Amino acid sequence: MREFLIMKLYGPMASWGDIAVGEQRLSHGHPTKSAVIGLLAAALGIQRDEEEKHQMLSKGYSMGVRVDSPGALLRDYHTVQVPPPDRGRTYYTRREEMSVLKFAMNTILSQRDYRVDAHYTVALYSENTESFTFECLVDALKAPRYTLYLGRKSCPLAFPLMPRIISAENLQQAFDQVPVDNELYRSSIFSTSSADNHITYYWEGMSREETGFPTQSGAYFQHERRDQVASRRRWQFSSRKEHQLTVKEGEK
């Protein structure tokens, strides 16, 4: 048996940032590891420049996600003020950008993607005893130090995270202890099942066999995903390997 920290993520809007180039600000269809680690850091009250603690969180846990409902895509159109290019100056924050005189500012167009009415079950697991304990994380998530949000500050949580520690033989059994149709999501305003009665899982740090998921059915893929926090202060990320399995409900 091993321990898993399970929590629910739901908000009217969420945004799980993909690599952003130019005016397009895309969103993945499920939570990025950097967003989940940032949520934990906010709950614990960790400042952005506390690199050692961010690294402890980022390297201390592996993450699995069950997409309980994929929601719908919303694309928002923006106009954004930015300072003119200046080879002699680097702007590290939005506050520094806005310190430029208004008449010198330029305007660029931006399109930002959100997931609407999507909800997820997230599992954290680790063999690293030097990181924060699950008990510490659960306490912080129940009474967070800073405001929690789903990828962007404009995407607050709509329901409590319901963090809990679960003992299970493998990842599948851990997810099975938190069914999709729990009491929180029984309201008709939510779409509580994935499209076409299929459900998708994502995970890292385990082979398909180790997770307990079926090995002879479903659509299975591996991806390189650039959402491992390398430096929160400098906003840098590295790649990690993520597994994906989509199965028909009832085939597990």
Closest by CA to 193, choosing from 7, 67, 64, is: 67
Which amino acid does the sequence have at 160? P
With vertex at residue 73, the alpha carbon angle to CA 69 and CA 74, rounded to the nearest 5 degrees, is: 130
Average pLDDT over residues 218-239: 89
With vertex at residue 190, the alpha carbon angle to CA 185 and CA 195, rounded to the nearest 5 degrees, is: 105
Residue 190's pLDDT band (cuts 50, 70, 90): very low
Q: Hey, where are the domains in the chain?
A: 2-19+29-70+117-248
Residue 215's pLDDT band (cuts 50, 70, 90): confident
Average pLDDT over residues 31-43: 96
pLDDT digits 0-9 by tens, 125-174: 997 767 899 999 999 999 999 999 999 999 999 999 999 999 999 999 99
Burial of 88 (0-12, 13-18, 19+ CB in 10 A): exposed
Q: How far is CA 50 from the centre of its chain?
A: 20
CA distance 64 to 208: 12
CA distance 46 to 88: 32
pLDDT digits 0-9 by tens, 81-122: 888 877 778 888 888 888 877 777 888 888 889 999 999 999
pLDDT digits 0-9 by tens, 170-181: 999 999 999 886
CA distance 252 to 237: 34
**Model's pTM, two decimal places?**
0.84
Q: Could you tell me which CATH number the domain at 2-19+29-70+117-248 has?
A: 3.30.70.2660
CA distance 51 to 195: 40
> Secondary structure of 59-119 in the HEC alphabet?
HHCEEEEEEEECCEEEEEEEEEEECCCCCCCCCCCHHHHCCCCHHHCEEEEEEEEEEECCE
Q: Over 50: is that where the pLDDT of 74 sits?
A: yes
Q: How far is CA 219 from the centre of its chain?
A: 22
Q: Over 80: is that where the pLDDT of 207 sits?
A: yes
Higher pLDDT: 219 or 83? It is: 219
CA distance 42 to 103: 36
Per-residue confidence (pLDDT) for residue 181, from 0 to 100: 63
